[in-house]
Amino acid sequence: MGKLDGKVALITGSGRGIGQSLAFQLASEGARLVINDLDAEPAHETVAAIKANGGEAVPCVGSVTAPDFADRFIRTAVENYNGIDIIVNNAGYTWDAVIQKMTDEQWHAILDCHLTAPFRILRAAYPVISAAAKKEAAEGREVFRKVVNISSSSGINGNPGQTNYSAAKAGIIGLTKTLSKEWGRLKVNVNCVAFGWIETRLTEPTTEAKTIEIEGRKLAVGVGPHAVQAFSQRCPLGRPGHAHEAAGAVAMYCMPESDYISGQTILVSGGA
């Protein structure tokens, strides 16, 4: 028996990295997953891996910023599993520049991904969650659901070159606090996890110029080894975090142990 047996979890950006690690952790506890990735291949690979281990998962491929994505994401869960129990707004990337060099396109792209997309997903989920909560209340049952939004240490402390990202990640904390008050009556715990430096394909140490393509844009990724060394020297735990460690913090907010925690933001940064 897993702690999440029968629960339905939707995770954006779960085809790789932190999101994939989280999907594996929740699946191991019995959750049924809706896996999202911008690209089809990693999404289908993650679904296949979950199924190979005896779990249940379906893909929902596409950009979270697409106008129809939120409705399609929610519909995938309802049509396949007839409900929603956990939503994790994890998808994201960075497109950095100092403010005087940042374009409107850069600003809006990052705000759309990290703040507007979660807003749309949660708005689309409301009718499903509300109907279920009202039915359970009429039956005298208390059933908790979970929303976990992802922020960043940049949203708490700011970070040079990231006015767009920092603003979006600060905004998601405000969204979290407000929604915890609006949805408390529905027995939904709404919390936030703010990541510090976590090693992913976006932040891996490299001495080469590397890029990834997101919606037709080629964006630089990776950091110089000297930056990792400098961070490690000032981080109390002595290194950047791993994807499974970041995912573990999110998983905590998805478990029954968090049923009386809401509106909170936890910083996962190794003490930095």
Which residues are known to be catalytic? 165
What domains lie within the chain, and their CATH numbers?
Answer: 8-199+240-268 (3.40.50.720)
pLDDT tens-place values along the chain, 272 residues long: 899 999 999 999 999 999 999 999 999 999 999 999 999 999 999 999 999 999 999 999 999 999 999 999 999 999 999 999 999 999 999 999 999 999 999 999 999 999 999 999 999 999 999 999 999 999 999 999 999 999 999 999 999 999 999 999 999 999 999 999 999 999 999 999 999 999 988 787 777 778 888 888 888 887 888 888 888 999 999 999 999 999 999 999 999 999 999 999 999 999 99
How many other C-beta atoms can be found within 10 angstroms of the C-beta atom of residue 257?
Answer: 10
Residue 153 corresponds to which amino acid?
Answer: S
Residue 70 corresponds to which amino acid?
Answer: A
- Predicted model pTM: 0.95
User: In residues, how long is the chain?
Assistant: 272
Burial 146-172 (b: 16+ CB within 10 A, else e): bbbbbbbbbbbeebeebbbbbbbbbbb
